[in-house]
Structure 1
Amino acid sequence: MKVGIVGTGNMGGILMEALIESGAISPSDLNIVNRTREKAEKFQERYHDISIYNEQADLIKDSDVIFICVKPLDIYDLLKSNQRSFTKEKCVVSITSPISVEQVESLADCSCMRIIPSITNRALSGVSLFSFGSKCTKEWQDIIWKLMSTISTPVIIDESITRVSSDIVSCGPAFFTYLTRKFIQGAVSETEIDESTATVLASEMLIGLGELLKKEIYTLAALQEKVCVKGGITGEGISAMEAQIGELFPELFRATHKKFEKDLAETRHQFGLD
């Protein structure tokens, strides 16, 4: 199976690296194209057998499954200008949340799906969010599910929870990285610990926390209860957090959904759905 990736930016590059390093695909079975060829060539320096294309249409023609990893507002033109190249035997995978799989299907007469990945997939971990098109064959569903299972835990989601699911899975690493950095900065500003030491300790703590959850040794609630002894130091810290956190997370989701609605309006206009 020939895998094509259109767009080798952040997520396109992460998908490429993860799929190759997991052994799911070999570099010789990977076709890539990018608006700036130099970016694609940097990947070829590491994976010599990948094929770089100058034109999207040529990549689509030579690929069985095509991952579209470009910005949301670039997808309509990509699909429209290459409409004849998406023949019935192929599969198209969009990775962006503001474009529904139905929108992709309206311009690509083949099996279509949307998969929202996460940066955690680069470590062959985390979740990938699946939505299948109405014309997507069971064969392609099984093939791509198996492919993504090598780098993630695939989860099927309903369209109505696309944004919040993406916030948790795809944006979540950035949100919790920000909180961790603030956690470290607080330790440095209030104590004698240096930033380097605090960063190592916090990073290793997060890795250990992930292992506890992965092995299902504790649930989130049980873990907090185990550490937070009544009347102890951890309890004082939790009380301080409760006093300060307020509407932080509800406001976070309100902000992401507000931006999402704007993106949806723009893409719907492109597809003539407004």
Structure 2
Amino acid sequence: MKVGFIGYGSMADLLTRQLLAHANVSPEDIIIYTRSENERLQEIHDLFPNITISKTSQAVFEQAQHTFVCVLPLAVLPVLLENKPALTKDSHVISIAAGVSVDDLKHVTTAAQYSKLIPSLTTSVGVGTSLVNHDVAVSKENQAWLDEALGTFSSVMEVAEENIDLASDLTSSSPGFIAAIFEQFVQAAVRKSDLTEAQVFQMISNSLAGTSKLLSEQGYTFDSLIKRVATKGGITAEGVDLSQDKLPAFFDELLVRTADKYADHHAEINEQIKELF
């Protein structure tokens, strides 16, 4: 059984490395095609010379039982359309593109089996959620393979298509949101003290790592952790009260803005479907 990759950017590289390290996938099982060779591709091939670098995308679809399509959203349907003759009832196509649904993929052909995957950078360290959505035509065996392979290095959660955009905010995008929020915390502390930026970053990053372990290893919820740390009338409670006052509006606006951006992506794909089909 071969596992294919069409496109080889950062997420394809993450998935390849994690599958090789944790799942029952060997270098001989991997076949990759990308239009432009890059440093990531060269590095993974240097590390694992038995990985096959294909000259065509068609060869990947023909040889691989499971093919991860890791190209930009507007490139997904053209790639599949270009390779339509190679897409058969045994082809399991796994798209990682935001804004492209499994129903969109079926405009190319209903012969193939389609799954959608939203990976997260955090799974590169073995902690994080892989969101999946399987079309009804995907066999139980292919669903099980994908879920089990991803499950070796992440928590796999199947999410309905109508919820997958918001769920992506909570998994794939949230490391960026969290980093942006706490970067502002760092800068505020630097403005208010003689501490260096490096010192403040170390303190906050350690606190984040420790908080994560408390949540994952000691069974705390956000609410129970707040109650454990914030004594009523104390200093921490002041910050908690301010957060509860100011942050709801921020996060409501954040989800509105990301939803609008997803809507733009969906509109672009719908326009592309009209042009292609």
TM normalised by structure 2 equals: 0.93
C-alpha distance in 2, partners of 1:49/1:93? Answer: 23
1:93 aligns with 2:94: yes
Q: Equivalents in 2 of 1:32, 1:194: separation in Å?
A: 45
Give the Cα separation in 2 of the matches to 1:114 and 1:41: 27
Partner of residue 211, structure 2: 209
**Residue in structure 2 matched with residue 130 of structure 1 by the alignment:** 132
Partner residue in 1 for 2:37: 37
SS at match of 1:170: coil
What per-residue deviation string (whole Å, max 9, x for no partner) do you get for residues 148-198 of structure 1? 111211111111111110111110110001111111111122112212122
8 Å CA contact 2:76–2:97 kept in 1: the answer is no
**Per-residue deviation, 1:145:** 0.9
Residue 151 (structure 2) pairs with residue 114 (structure 1): no
Which stretches of structure 1, 4 residues or more, deviate above 4 A after TM superposition? none
Matches of 1:23 and 1:128 in 2, distance apart? 14
Counterpart for residue 81 of structure 1? 82
Partner AA of 2:159 in structure 1: I
Could you say which residue in structure 2 is the equivalent of 1:15? Answer: 15
Q: Is the 8 A contact 1:188 1:194 kept in 2?
A: yes
Check 1:216–1:271 CA distance in 2 against 1; reply closer, same or farther (3 A cut).
Answer: farther
**Cα 1:246–1:141, aligned 2, differ >3 Å: closer, same or farther?**
closer
Separation (CA, whole Å) in 1 of partners of 2:161 and 2:131:
11
Structure 2 counterpart of 1:221: 223
Residue 23 of structure 1: how far off its partner (Å) = 4.2
Q: 1:266 aligns with which of 258, 265, 268?
A: 268
Bigger Cα displacement from structure 2, 209-218 vs 220-229: 209-218
For the residues of structure 1 that align with 2:240 and 2:138, how far apart are their CA atoms? 48
Structure 2 CA distance, aligned partners of 1:104 and 1:30? Answer: 23
| CA deviation map 1:103-136 (0-9, x unaligned) | 2233242221111111111112211111111211
**Counterpart secondary structure, 1:155:** strand
Contact 1:18 1:123 in 2 (8 A): no
Aligned-partner Cα distance in 2 for 1:188–1:44 = 44
- Secondary structure of the residue aligned to 2:98 is coil
CA shift digits 1:213-258 (9 cap, x unpaired) = 1124211100011111111111122234345436211111111111
Where do 1:177-256 residues align within 5 Å?
177-245=179-247, 247-256=249-258
Residue 173 (structure 2) pairs with residue 171 (structure 1): yes
Deviates more, 1:148-157 or 1:99-108: 99-108
* 3-state SS, counterpart of residue 88 of structure 1: coil
* 1:9-61 Cα distance to aligned partner (Å, 9 max, x none): 12112111222222442222111122211342232123322111221111221
Q: Does the Cα contact within 8 Å between 2:61 and 2:87 map onto a contact in 1?
A: yes
Q: TM-score, normalised by structure 1?
A: 0.94
Question: Which stretch shows the higher mean deviation, 244-253 or 137-146?
Answer: 244-253
Supply the distance in 2 between the matched residues of 1:243 and 1:112 (Cα, whole angstroms): 44
What is the CA–CA distance in structure 2 between the aligned matches of 1:171 and 1:38, rounded to whole Å? 25
Partners of 2:52 and 2:159 in 1: CA distance: 33
**Is the 8 Å Cα contact of residues 165 and 259 (structure 2) preserved in structure 1?**
yes
Rounded to whole Å, the distance in 2 between the matches of 1:28 and 1:42 is 16
Distance 1:261 1:222, change over 3 A: same
1:147 maps to 149
Cα distance, 1:98 vs structure 2: 0.8
The percentage of aligned residue pairs carrying the same residue is 28
| 1:88 CA drift (Å) | 1.5
- Please say if residues 30 and 51 of structure 2, whose CA atoms lie closer than 8 Å, have aligned partners that are also in contact: yes
Contact 2:129 2:171 in 1 (8 A): yes
C-alpha contact (below 8 Å) 1:24/1:150 kept by paired residues: no
Assess if the C-alpha contact under 8 Å between 1:130 and 1:157 holds in 2.
yes
Q: Which residue of 1 aligns with 2:50?
A: 49
- Secondary structure (helix, strand or coil) at the match of 1:174 reads helix
RMSD: 1.8
